[in-house]
Structures are given as structure tokens and as C-alpha cells.
Amino acid sequence: MSIDSVTEINTQREKTQGKRTWQQTKSQITRNAILQAAVDCFYEVGYSKTTTDSIAKKAKVSRGAMLHHFPTRAELITATVEYLNLLRLEMFAREEFAVQKGAEHTRIEEGIDVYWNQLNTPPFIVFFELKVIARTDPELAAVINPGLRDFEGAWAEAVTDVFPDLALSEAFQRSIYLTQLILEGLATARFSEQGRMPETMLISWLKRELRRSFQDVLGTVKRPNDD
């Protein structure tokens, strides 16, 4: 997702608070540029090797601008985790809604493919790595753990919105957690297994299992109109 997309989301959220000034808009753009640069640096060189100076350079802003938006490293990391959550949720909803557009019943196989592809993009990879590092980094854990709880709650709501027909199934909650654990586990296994994990076989099995699990609603409960 582009910085412009995130800026648009922030703009929509602030409409209820009145129109923003030009300076506020410019400030939000700069802030998002810094956060995107932080994500990029974490992805390219890793969390431990990323410095505030390298983020400022990547974002093409002065150190003074960095300190204006994020006076401390802790504030920058907290905001970056929140930004990652926003990136992941927006990507999930936008791409899943797109693949389901016009469908009478949820397209399970296509939906799985979309989520699997997302799990292999920088925002997801960075978040996986931050979770592992947080195990032995108390400062990072203090940010990641609340951020993870917030994301899980928002993701559960997004899944229900994207798959309203499947949400009526008795197997919905169990199947959604199973899907998340299997696909995210496969994605993280890529870091160490180097192609030894039978991804195609396991994902094909998952698609068949989900179609079997949702037999009580698939083909009988229709998705609402896209309107």
C-alpha cells in the first residue's frame, strides 16, 4: 500500500473533526513517509541494524523533522507498529473484497490465495520478525504485544465483514483460526526451511478442508450485494 493510501485513510478518519489545514496535511504526509521508511529499513537490514538516522535518510527528511514527529525511539517504534497494523488490515480488506466482488457465495480458494500472497509481503514479514525479536527485547515487547492484541481484534472484525456468509457457519471461528495459523506458520517457515516445506500440498489441503467445513452455508447462504 502506498503512503498516499494511508494518508487518505487518515484524512477520512479526521473528517468528523473538521477540515485539516494545509500544514496539518503536510505534517501527516511527512509522518507517514517516516513510518514507511522505518518499515522499509526493518525489511531491508533488520530491526537491530536500523537507526533513526537511517530512517530519516530513507524518508528524505532532516533529523530535526524526525525529532519533531518522534522525539524518542520508543515513540517511533510504537507508531511504526500501529502503522504496520493499518497497512496489513487495509491490504487484507481491500484485496479480499476485490476478489469476492460479484460472487454469489464466497470464493474460498481465491480468498486463500490472496491472504497467502499478503503473508509474503514486507509489512507481514517485518511484523513476524518483530514478534520474534520481542521475545528477548522487553522494550519492543511492550509495544508489540498490545499492538498484536489490537490487530487480532480488528482482523477478526474484518474477516467477518469480508466473509459474511461464512460467518454464519458453526465452523467459522475454528476455521478462521486454523487458516491463520497454518498460512502464517508456512510463511514464517520460509525463513529457515528454504523450500523444503510442501507449501502447495498443504495449501491445497487447507482449501479442501475449508470447503468441507463450510458445507452448512456454502451454496445456500448468499453474500450480500456489493452495493
- Span 203-222, pLDDT tens digits: 999 999 999 999 999 989 99
Q: What tens digit of pLDDT does each residue of 142-167 get? A: 988 888 888 888 999 999 999 999 99
Q: How confident is the model at residue 8 (pLDDT cuts 50, 70, 90)?
A: low
Q: What is the pLDDT of residues 32-83, one digit of tens each?
A: 999 999 999 999 999 999 999 999 999 999 989 999 999 998 899 999 999 9
Q: In angstroms, rounded to a whole number, what is the distance separating the alpha carbons of residues 137 and 150? A: 20
CA-to-CA distance for 134 and 69, rounded, in angstroms? 24
Domain 1-71: state its class: mainly alpha
Q: Residue 126's CB: how many other CB atoms inside 10 A? A: 24
pLDDT of residue 195: 62
Residue type, 114: V
What pTM was computed for the model? 0.82
Question: Which residue in 188, 121, 127 sits closest to 152, CA to CA?
Answer: 127
Burial 69-104, CB ≥16 within 10 A → b, else e: bbeeeeebbbbbbbbbbbbbbbbbbebbeebbeeee
